[in-house]
Every structure is written in C-alpha cells, then in structure tokens.
Structure 1
Amino acid sequence: MRPGPAAGEAALDPAESAQRLAPWLGREARAGVVLAVSGGPDSTALMGCAASLPPAVPVLVATVDHGLRPESAAEADGVARAAQAHGLPHRRIAWLGDKPRTGLQAAARAARYRLLVDLAREVGAGAILTAHTLDDQAETVLMRLCAGSGPAGLGGIDPVRDLGGIALVRPFLDIPKARLVATCAARGWAFATDPGNRDPRFARARLRRVMPLLAAEGLTPARLGRLAERTRRNEAALAAAADAALRDLTRPPALPSAVALDAPGLAALPQAVALRVTVRAIAAAAGAGAPAVRLERLEAALLGRLLPAAAEGRALRLTLGGALITVSQGLLTLRAEPPRRR
C-alpha cells in the first residue's frame, strides 16, 4: 500500500537516521549487517534509511517467510523489489516444518531469530538490525506485566543483545512507530500491512486496542519505555552485585561437579542479590537443559525456606530447577538432581 501521512509525528531526517545507523553501517562498523525487513512500515523505513546512509559495510536485506498467510510469499517478493530499487541484495528465508497449534507467535519469533542468526553467520555479518519501535517496547512491557514477570522481564526489549556472537540491534527502539510511517510517507516508500497485527486471537493485538485508553490516563508508550530503561539499568547493577557476591561466597565443594556457597553469607545479602546469586548457582550446578523455574516458585522456595535455613543454621534439602540443594554445616551445596526412579 501507499503510505499515508502520520499526523503529529515528524519524519526522520537524513542526519538523525544516519546518526542512529552509523555505529553499525558507517565507517566505524567492523563487519557487515543483515537487515530484517518484513515489508511493514517500520522495517521498510529501516531499509530505506540504511540505503540512504550510504552503508560502508556489506548489507543484506533478509525477509523471513513464516508461511502462515497466503500473502507472505508475495510480500517477500515485494521486499525483494524494494531492496533492488535501493541497490541492496535480498534473501528470502522460509520457516519450514510443522507449526505449533498453541504459542504460535512465540514459536514464529524464535524461528525468525534462529534463521536470521544462521544467515548472518553464513554471510559473515556481525549484526542483525531490526526495526522495533517505542510502540513495540511499550506493548512488550505491558504483556510481561500481565504475565506476572519480574524486574528482568519488565526491562522489555534490549536495544542491543548478543545472539551467540551476533549483535541483535534495534536502532529505532526509542522512537514512535508513527515517525517511521511518516518517514515512509515523506520518502514515497510503499509498505505492506500485516492483518495479524489486528487479530484479537493474539495478546499483543488486544493490547494495541487498549493502549490509547491507557495513554489517556497517563500510561503512555514513552513512560513505559522509560520504565523499561530504568528497570534494565537497575537489573544491570543487581547482576554486577550478584556476580561479585557469587565469587566471594563460593567455597570448595565436597563433591565433584557441585557448587558450594557460604550459607550464612548468602543469607546476609539483600534478598534481591541473594535470589540472583542462588539462581546463578542453580544454573551452574544443574547444567544445560535444566528446566526453567517460575519466579513465584523460586521466591517461595528461596525466601520461604532456603534463606531462613541458611541464616539459622538448620539442615535443609530440596530440589529446584534441576538442582539438588542441601544446607548443612554452614554450606549451601548444589549439584545436578539425580535421575528419578521409575
């Protein structure tokens, strides 16, 4: 479709878009990039701005065809034509195989990033750029709030995230979607619309319908974005404190492949730090593939049983997150949970 004007929002000017993209596409960039472009207004603006820079490193436009709608192949072809008009190469990658009946959007998102990372490694790119906006950030924070997420979840979408050595970058994360729509209108860049964005079967689409009501009460996307930024900042500080405490409290274990901590020292920490130290110790003891533990269960076990026993010097034995945890003689010892008998 042809973009229409976005009332009240200014288009990105070339200087602003260049400033946002230069660290990854400019002269200081160290490797090529993959641009994730679906054909919607956000990613169409990302592709056009990247081409206008112009990029100083190799750029590959990639469209993931999830095969969930009959129009998806044609939309990928439209992105290929737009990329060609910008002088950029394009690759269409398909999500093959059976699709789940539940959790479809989460599965599609996981598949998309897996395919993009594989492509980046294939072509030697160092970064994947997506066009997530402030609107996406606000919706993500609300969704996680509704799901009962802890502080880490309320940090929302990371501006830069490591995916196995590939940087996942969101250069437009702090600006409203309407500005990218306005940019497409100003530059004459046509884009497609995904009807799934309005499908009430999906939680994100339902939240979009109530966002104007929340904004009228003061809970605007900008404020939700600031909440996410502040939460990420606080989480980074707590993570650093937990890493330092884990180093200080680690003791030689009596069993091989076990993790041992000074139990009274752990109990003396602020609870937020003690939780994170114990989570790190559980992950180290349980190993890869251990089951994830919901925050509510983790808090109940650690705050209600484990830390009080460590503080009082009481013996305790429990399993959590694939780890067998014991408190005895001033030590908290964790090792992989043994296989259960049939």
Structure 2
Amino acid sequence: MNNHFAPLEETIDAFCRKLVSSDQHQTIAVAVSGGSDSMALCLLMHTWAQKNHCTLIALTVDHRLRENSLQEAQTVKKWIEERGIKHHILTWNHSSITTGIQKKAREARYDLLTNFCHQHNIKTICTAHHEADQLETFLMRLSKGSGLEGLSVMKQLSVWNNVTIGRPLLSTQPGILKEYLQTLPQKYINDPSNKDLKFERVQWRTLLQNMNEQGLSMKQFPQSLNRLQSVNDFIDQTIEDAWNDVVMLTDDTISISIVSLLQLHECIATKIIARTLQQVSGKAYCAPYEKMLDIFHQLQENRFKKHSVGGCVIAQKRAQLMIIKDERLQNASS
C-alpha cells in the first residue's frame, strides 16, 4: 500500500490494539452503509484483523426509507463478501415517518446494530465518523445552545445499549478515505440524502463547503475541540469522584443524598441527577439540562415536588431523593 496511507493504517492499528486483547481471539463489528467513509473503514479494519487474528463482521442497516434501499444493501453485501468479510443486513421495520427522520433512523440503527452484537457476543462495533462529522455536529449543537458536554461532541469510545461504539476516524479527513478506495480500487455508494437540504446536517455541510470556497478555514477546530474535551473529561472525573459520596444503589432504585448533593457545584450536581435518571431508565440520552437545573434549584430552596422526567419518577423521602423507573416505561418494556 502507498506510504501516503501509512498514517491512516497506523490510526487503525493503534485504535484496534486498544480494543482487542493480544492474548485472545476476538470479534469486532463494523457498521457499513456503503458510502466511502464506512467502506474505507471496513477494508482498513479487515486488513488489520487478518494480521492480528481477529474476526471482523460487517453490518449494513436497511432503513427502508428509499425504494432501492434493499438493493443498495445487497450491493454492499456483494462488495464486502467479495473481499472475504462476513456480512449481515439488518432491516428496520417501521410505519410511515414524516418528521424527525434522521434522528429516528439513527436511534433505530444503533438499536439494531447493538442488538445484533448482544446476540453474537460482540463487545464493540466501529463506525466511520470522521473529522468533518465532528465539526458539523459541533455547529448543530452550538446553534441549539448546547453546554460543554454537548459541544465536546463525539468521543472515540462511547456506549449504546451496553455495547461499546468505537470511532477510530475522528481525526481523519474524509478526502483521504476516498483516495484510499480509489487506490484499491473499491466502489462505493453515493447516498442522495447527503445532498438533501431539508436535513439540518446537510445545510451545515453546505455552509462549511461554501466557507472553504471563500477561503474561511476551520483548520484550528480540532485543537479547540481537544481543549473542550479536556475540560469535559475533568468534569467527568469530578463526577466520578463525587458519585460514591452522593449516590446509593439498590436492585431497582437509586437514592441521592440531598445534603451531599447540595454541597456540590450545580454543574456537577445536575449531571449526577441526569446520569442517575439515565442509569435507571436505560435511555441512551440524558434528560434535558434545564429540567435537571430546575430540580436542583427546587432542592436548594426547599420546595421540591415529585417529578416524572427522563423515564423515571423522582420523589423525596426525608433527606434522600428516590429515583425509580416510571411504571409507564416499565409496562411498555415488559
């Protein structure tokens, strides 16, 4: 392979070595839409897996949002299997969707991918999010008034449905991924929705392209993002340090010491409340910051009332906040 791609291969090597124990054979999944980014990631990881006695399984989700979606998924399957890689198509069965299409599709996609991983005892699935995706996500969240955690955008490792989501390409520009495929050579699919301006992400992508054409560079964005993430990591560590002093776990409830909680800065206290709700409810996303801040202020002013928020019920019992799963959510999942 051309030395031009050595840094790309080194990125994959360093990332995968962190995921896979050297003393045992493991399986990693990779999400492949068929676009240039995910096709490149899949083939890069396949090369690494062959050299390191690891099994790679490629997964393509058929969202059934376009007439030819199944045909596209089958084309991807053919390409992948021609390379000697195991491949599965996962289908999202749903009724008609008219609003929030991208958000609903994303959540369904991650549910399908992680459920497959559970069924096949796979601990990690990798996605092809890259540096340009990071910038788009940052601008989308900035426009909505996100706080530090939201503006820190995607991490290399996160968890969905108790499966690790790996993103090895977050510091990689998409252009080199297309160059890599051209060198092999390998075909890929151009998704028409990536140019559909009714989607917010596409609007931001188009704006950024126009800025680049006008000579307005975002080259310093990764440095700024690293600084934001460093501060956010410090806050995460502070939350972990405070957790054991504030939170008590039982089989089906979590209780929070109100006295200990009120001694914390509101930034830390609100995040602890949000994460306890997330842990009890099993939801992928934390409850809105504004609601957590309101609960904290009610506790400060001794006017707290029972809440139903984030899929949980929060009630005060003497000097404790008791958090249990909302019965409506329990009934829906039983």
Q: When the two structures are superposed, what TM-score results if normalisation uses the length of structure 1?
A: 0.78
**1:233 maps to which residue?**
230
Take 1:326 and 1:26, find their aligned partners in 2: how far apart are those partners? 45
**1:48 maps to which residue?**
43
Cα displacement string for residues 307-332 of structure 1 (whole angstroms, at most 9, x for unaligned residues): 3x2xxxxx32334435455598xx46
1:185 to 173, 182, 186: 182
The 1:138–1:30 alpha-carbon spacing in structure 2 relative to 1, beyond 3 Å, is farther
The residue type paired with residue 35 of structure 1 is V
Take 1:50 and 1:278, find their aligned partners in 2: how far apart are those partners? 38
The 1:211–1:319 alpha-carbon spacing in structure 2 relative to 1, beyond 3 Å, is farther
Contact 1:31 1:124 in 2 (8 A): no
**1:6 maps to which residue?**
none
2:305 is paired with a residue of what secondary structure? strand
Take 2:326 and 2:93, find their aligned partners in 1: how far apart are those partners? 37
The residue type paired with residue 49 of structure 1 is L
2:88 is paired with a residue of what secondary structure? strand
The residue type paired with residue 183 of structure 1 is Y
Take 1:75 and 1:217, find their aligned partners in 2: how far apart are those partners? 36
Take 2:207 and 2:83, find their aligned partners in 1: how far apart are those partners? 37
**1:135 maps to which residue?**
132
1:274 pairs with 2:274: no
Contact 1:66 1:72 in 2 (8 A): yes
**1:59 maps to which residue?**
56
Matched residues, percent identical? 22
Contact 1:40 1:193 in 2 (8 A): yes
1:318 to 289, 305, 313: 305
**Across the two proteins, how many residue pairs are aligned to each other?**
317
**2:98 maps to which residue?**
101
Q: For the aligned residues, what is the CA RMSD?
A: 3.6
Cα displacement string for residues 25-75 of structure 1 (whole angstroms, at most 9, x for unaligned residues): 795665211221111111111122223335221222221111111232222
Take 1:98 and 1:127, find their aligned partners in 2: how far apart are those partners? 30
**2:109 maps to which residue?**
112
Take 2:94 and 2:325, find their aligned partners in 1: how far apart are those partners? 34
1:150, distance to aligned residue in structure 2 (A): 1.8
1:244 pairs with 2:241: yes
Correspondences of 1:1-342 after superposition (within 5 Å)? 11=5, 15-16=9-10, 19-20=13-14, 22-23=16-17, 24=19, 27=22, 30-55=25-50, 56-214=53-211, 220=218, 222-249=219-246, 259-263=255-259, 265-280=260-275, 293-303=287-297, 305-307=298-300, 309=301, 315-320=302-307, 321=309, 322-324=312-314, 331=319, 333-334=321-322
Unmatched 5+ stretches in structure 2: 328-334
The 1:11–1:280 alpha-carbon spacing in structure 2 relative to 1, beyond 3 Å, is closer
Query: Which stretch shifts more, 225-234 or 47-56?
Result: 225-234
Unmatched 5+ stretches in structure 1: 1-9, 310-314
Take 2:256 and 2:72, find their aligned partners in 1: how far apart are those partners? 55
2:64 is paired with a residue of what secondary structure? coil
Take 1:135 and 1:258, find their aligned partners in 2: how far apart are those partners? 39
1:101, distance to aligned residue in structure 2 (A): 1.7
1:223, distance to aligned residue in structure 2 (A): 3.8
1:93 is paired with a residue of what secondary structure? strand
Contact 1:144 1:154 in 2 (8 A): yes
The 1:259–1:38 alpha-carbon spacing in structure 2 relative to 1, beyond 3 Å, is closer
The residue type paired with residue 299 of structure 2 is L
Take 1:296 and 1:273, find their aligned partners in 2: how far apart are those partners? 14
Cα displacement string for residues 117-136 of structure 1 (whole angstroms, at most 9, x for unaligned residues): 22223333232121111111
Q: When the two structures are superposed, what TM-score results if normalisation uses the length of structure 2?
A: 0.79
The 1:30–1:227 alpha-carbon spacing in structure 2 relative to 1, beyond 3 Å, is farther
Contact 2:13 2:48 in 1 (8 A): no
Take 2:195 and 2:147, find their aligned partners in 1: how far apart are those partners? 28
Contact 1:35 1:47 in 2 (8 A): yes
Take 1:251 and 1:42, find their aligned partners in 2: how far apart are those partners? 43
Contact 1:260 1:334 in 2 (8 A): yes
